[in-house]
C-alpha cells in the first residue's frame, strides 16, 4: 500500500527493543518490552486497566523516557525527532490536551501553522459532519465534542503514524461508528500505521487487523485478528493428554489453567490448516475470551 506522502517501505514505523520503564517511586510498568509496528498495520492494543497501555503509547512517542531499551520512530530516536518526522505523527491522548481558551477554528488555525501539509477540506468536512461549533470556546464543548476535535486535529496533517489512546472513550455509539469509518476510509487508504488502545472490543473487530495483548509489562501476543479467531482454540483434558496433543498439533500454548482432578484447560494457537483430532474437547474462542485469557 503506498501514498504520495508515504512510499511503501518495510522499515518499521515504530520499533521498541527491551524497553523498561518505571514511574518515580513506582514499580516497573514496562518490563523489557519489544514491539514493532510496520507500515500499513492497524494495531489494536488491548490490556487490563493499569496494564500500562498509556505508558507504552507515551513511551512510543518519546513522551516518557525509558530507563532501559530503545524506542525508534521512522528510524530515529524517539527522544530526538527532527521536524520532518514529527510532521508524520498524529496523536490523540486519553485526556484532552486541547488549549481550551481557543475556539475550534482558532485551535486548528494554530496547529495548521506548524505543519507542512494540512488537509483543509477534510478538516472542514469533519467539523461539519461531526457538528462541532467553530466559534464556541473549547472549554464549553462536551467531552465527546472535545474528543472529536482532538481526532480532527490528529488527522488533519495526514500523519503516517497515528497513535490513539482510547480515542472512542467519550463517544456515543454513533460517534464511534463515524470515527471508525473515518479511520478506515481516510487513514487506511493512505497506508498509514495506526495503533490505538481501547476497551470496546466490538470496535476492534470492525477495524483492527492486528491485535496486541499487553500483560505484565510486555506484549504477550500480537497477531492478525482473523488468524487469532481462526487458529486459537481452548482445549480441555488431563495434563498428559494436553502435552501430547500440543506436541502432535505443533500448537503454541498461550495460557494454561489448572482444573480439578489433574485436568487443565489450555488456550493454544494452532498452525494454519492444522486439524484437531476427533474426540478432543475443544472450544472456539471469541475476542472477549481472548481478552479475558491473555491480559
Binding residues for another protein, rule: CB under 8 A, are: 61-65, 79, 81, 83-84, 86-87, 89, 91, 93, 97, 99, 101-103, 106, 109-111, 113-116, 137
In whole angstroms, the minimum distance from the beta carbon of 91 to another protein comes to 5
Rank residues 187 and 228 by Cβ distance to another protein and give the closer one.
187
In whole angstroms, the minimum distance from the beta carbon of 177 to another protein comes to 27
In whole angstroms, the minimum distance from the beta carbon of 89 to another protein comes to 5
In whole angstroms, the minimum distance from the beta carbon of 132 to another protein comes to 17
Rank residues 58 and 182 by Cβ distance to another protein and give the closer one.
58
Rank residues 48 and 140 by Cβ distance to another protein and give the closer one.
140
Rank residues 10 and 27 by Cβ distance to another protein and give the closer one.
27
Grid coordinates in use for 180?
471508525
In whole angstroms, the minimum distance from the beta carbon of 71 to another protein comes to 12
Asked if 278 and 250 count as a contact pair (C-beta separation under 8 A), the reply is no
Rank residues 18 and 99 by Cβ distance to another protein and give the closer one.
99
Amino acid at each position: 500500500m503506498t501514498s504520495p506522502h508515504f512510499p511503501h517501505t518495510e522499515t518499521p514505523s515504530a520499533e521498541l527493543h527491551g524497553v523498561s520503564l518505571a514511574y518515580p517511586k513506582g514499580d516497573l510498568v514496562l518490563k523489557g518490552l519489544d514491539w514493532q509496528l510496520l507500515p500499513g498495520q492497524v494495531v489494536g492494543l488491548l490490556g487490563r486497566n493499569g496494564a500500562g497501555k498509556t505508558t507504552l503509547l507515551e513511551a512510543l512517542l518519546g513522551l516518557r523516557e525509558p530507563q532501559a531499551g530503545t524506542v525508534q520512530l521512522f528510524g530515529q530516536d524517539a527522544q530526538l525527532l527532527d521536524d520532518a518526522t514529527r510532521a508524520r505523527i498524529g496523536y490523540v491522548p486519553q485526556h484532552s490536551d486541547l488549549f481550551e481558551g481557543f475556539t475550534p477554528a482558532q485551535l486548528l488555525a494554530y496547529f495548521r501553522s506548524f505543519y507542512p501539509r494540512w488537509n483543509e477540506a477534510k478538516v472542514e468536512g469533519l467539523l461539519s459532519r461531526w457538528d462541532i461549533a467553530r466559534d464556541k470556546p473549547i472549554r464549553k464543548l462536551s467531552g465527546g465534542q472535545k474528543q472529536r476535535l482532538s481526532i480532527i486535529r490528529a488527522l488533519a496533517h495526514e500523519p503516517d503514524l497515528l497513535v490513539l489512546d482510547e480515542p472512542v472513550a467519550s463517544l456515543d455509539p454513533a460517534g464511534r461508528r463515524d470515527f471508525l469509518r473515518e479511520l478506515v476510509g481516510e487513514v487506511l487508504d493512505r497506508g498509514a500505521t495506526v495503533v490505538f488502545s481501547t476497551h470496546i472490543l466490538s470496535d476492534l473487530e470492525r477495524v483492527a487487523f492486528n491485535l496486541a495483548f499487553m500483560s505484565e509489562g510486555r506484549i504477550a501476543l500480537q497477531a492478525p485478528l482473523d488468524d487469532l479467531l481462526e487458529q486459537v482454540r481452548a482445549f480441555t483434558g488431563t495434563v498428559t493428554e494436553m502435552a501430547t496433543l500440543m506436541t502432535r498439533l505443533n500448537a503454541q500454548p498461550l495460557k494454561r489453567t489448572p482444573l480439578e482432578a489433574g485436568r487443565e484447560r489450555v488456550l493454544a494457537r494452532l498452525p494454519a490448516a492444522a486439524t484437531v483430532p476427533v474426540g478432543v474437547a475443544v472450544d472456539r474462542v471469541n475476542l472477549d475470551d481472548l481478552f479475558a485469557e491473555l491480559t
